[in-house]
Amino acid sequence: MVFHVTLIGVVSFGYMGHHNAIFGNITAHQAICAFARDRLLLAKEVAEARGFRLLHAIIDAIFVQKRNARAEEYVALTEAIGAATGLKIDIEGIYNWVAFLPSRQDPQMPVANRYFGVFRNGEVKLRGIEARREDTCAFIRTAQTEMIQLLAGAANRKEFQARVPQVIDLACAYLDRLRSGQVPLEELAITQTISRDPRAYIQHTLNAIVAQQLLASGVELSAGHRIRYVIVENQAKTYTDRARALEHLDGSLGYDAERYGELLLRAIEAMLAPAGIRADMLQQLIKQELPTPEKRSRLVAETTRPYWGPLFAWVEREERKKNAGIISKKQNTERPIPVGVAQSQRMATRNHPIEFCGAGE
């Protein structure tokens, strides 16, 4: 019952201020916000009167802190806020620590819906960061999730700081794998929901490029449909070469390691911002750390089977087709093989991935 009432309230509130609302009223929208602020400020006053400090507040939640507070004090606080506001208040959990991340535009400005933390029972809470977002590719989501699990073992700020070097080592390993071309395209696929008909796009955004590619191949799309694509060359002069729909990739094209590296560094920065590490500091550190034979060797040791990356996998498939007689091969041809393909074929025939990574050279 409570869930359904909440759902109705959230939906109706959002519709009140929507520009296409038929029965919406902007004054009603503003009034709802005013009442919400009043209840929120009242909850803040009740908490402060009991010795708690308000850390953060967002829509339907407040984050409070009190040094050495007992669990029963939090229960008493929720009962007091409920009595003062007339609203039912529950305790979602008690954190060991929680980090509220700053805005990327202004490091001095906090963002309401970007934070992560760990409850006393070990459960991790994420909001607004890459591991939580649906448009994050699997490779970056996995990397950030592993970093969070490393940090989750920290019980306080000091232990958090002590685990930062381990997070940086893990970040270097992921960046190394990315830059060496070993990541399957499926793990780099970005999922986006298009906001309009592909024909209605004016700017050459990646969403527009891929949606129009799919339309040209006979796939009918409209607003609300999801597309999956890989960034092939983000700065290509010909805009159609910047990204490809995942369905159109056969492995003959690689991926833009530099662009994906930037996205990965952004995810790493979110994890290390609470430790005072800025993006520019991280960039310099990564440049100094990569590449190192030790990290390459460790990465290879954890690999269950050699994987050369999408380009080399494509070459291997073409070789298998030739051997099976699917592709006829002319004998004694004078036509030279392109340098890139010839190099890929030579590398694909090697037996040890360390050579590909360069650790043994």
**pLDDT tens-digit series, residues 175-220:** 989 988 889 999 999 999 998 898 898 999 999 999 999 999 988 8
State how far the Cα of 198 lies from the Cα of 274, in Å rounded to an integer. 40
Domain for residue 330, yes or no? yes
Q: Which two tokens stand for residue 110?
A: 């906090």
Q: Which residue has the tokens 């996995």?
A: 142
**Domain end residue (candidates: 254, 275, 292):** 254
Residue 33 lies inside a defined structural domain of this protein? yes
Asked if the structure places residue 260 within a domain, the reply is no
Q: Looking at the domain assignment, is residue 43 inside a domain?
A: yes
319 with 237, same domain? no
What sign has the CA pseudo-torsion 344, 346, 352, 355? Answer: negative
Beta strands 124-127 and 110-119, pairing class: antiparallel
- Domain with 238 in it: 185-254
pLDDT value at residue 296: 39
Residue-wise pLDDT tens digits, 72-98 = 999 999 999 999 998 888 899 999 999
Let me know whether 245 and 317 are in one domain. Answer: no
Whether 48 is in a domain gets the answer yes
Spatial distance between the Cα atoms of 144 and 126, rounded to a whole number of angstroms: 11
SS3 assignment, position 126: strand
Q: Are residues 16 and 85 in the same domain?
A: yes
Structural domain count, the chain: 3
Percentage of the chain lying above the pLDDT 70 cut: 73
pLDDT tens for each residue of 125-161: 999 999 999 999 999 999 999 999 999 999 888 899 8
Summarised one tens digit per residue, pLDDT across range 253-277 is 889 999 999 999 999 999 988 888 8
Q: Which of 92, 107, 125 is the last residue of a domain?
A: 92
88 and 1, same structural domain? yes
Q: Among 216, 233, 254, where does a domain finish? A: 254
Asked whether residue 85 is domain-assigned, the answer is yes
Please say whether the beta carbons of 13 and 31 come within 8 A: no
Comparing CA positions, the residue from 134, 135, 95 lying closest to residue 115 is 95
* Domain assignment of residue 125, yes or no: no
Distance (Å, rounded) from C-alpha 15 to C-alpha 24?
A: 6
pLDDT tens per residue across span 319-350: 777 777 654 444 444 444 333 333 333 333 33
Q: Please state, in angstroms and rounded to a whole number, the distance separating the CA atoms of residues 194 and 208.
A: 8
Q: Rounded to an integer, what distance in angstroms lies between the CA atom of residue 349 and that of residue 334?
A: 23
Q: Is residue 26 part of a domain?
A: yes
Q: What is the maximum alpha-carbon separation in the chain?
A: 90
